[in-house]
């Protein structure tokens, strides 16, 4: 019974989460998207199970989350020996963020 209540509460939270999204200060000031614009909505779509919409909103969400989880686990288990792995993950994730941002800025948009 508690499991059903928890799932119901989580589902209710996800439906109302759009109302609590933080506005991007860079976009507010410059009117241009920053390299992180779209992450909150992408994460929310991912939590709802909509992987296609999540990727469309911000392609780097899954790599970013994997980088954080793997980096923390590697640092915890292997300590300083994990430095190369962590740096490679950072470079890959930063590349994905940069490429998707450049694509967003310079590619024609279809609405």
Q: Could you give the CA distance from residue 89 to residue 70 in angstroms, rounded to a whole number?
A: 9
Q: Indicate the pLDDT class of residue 101, thresholds 50, 70 and 90.
A: very high
The pLDDT value recorded for residue 7 is 46
- pLDDT tens, 35-73? 998 999 999 999 999 999 999 999 999 999 999 999 999
- pLDDT tens, 3-41? 554 544 555 556 666 677 778 888 889 988 889 989 999
Count of domains observed in the chain: 1
With respect to residue 27, please indicate whether it lies within any of the assigned structural domains. Answer: yes
With respect to residue 18, please indicate whether it lies within any of the assigned structural domains. Answer: no
Backbone angles phi, psi at 65, to 5 degrees: -65, -40
With respect to residue 7, please indicate whether it lies within any of the assigned structural domains. Answer: no
What pTM value is reported for the model?
Answer: 0.77
**Owning domain of residue 91:** 23-106
The pLDDT value recorded for residue 33 is 86
The pLDDT value recorded for residue 9 is 52
């Amino acid at each position: 019974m508690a499991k059903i209540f928890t799932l119901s509460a989580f589902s209710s939270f996800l439906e109302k989460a759009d109302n609590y999204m933080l506005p991007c200060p860079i976009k507010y000031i410059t009117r241009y998207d920053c390299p992180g614009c779209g992450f909150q909505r992408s994460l929310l779509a991912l939590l709802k199970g909509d992987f296609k919409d999540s990727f469309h909103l911000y392609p780097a969400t899954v790599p970013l989350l994997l980088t954080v989880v793997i980096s923390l686990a590697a640092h915890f288990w292997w300590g300083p020996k994990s430095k190369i792995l962590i740096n490679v993950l950072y470079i890959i994730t930063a590349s994905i963020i940069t490429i998707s941002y450049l694509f967003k800025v310079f590619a024609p948009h279809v609405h």
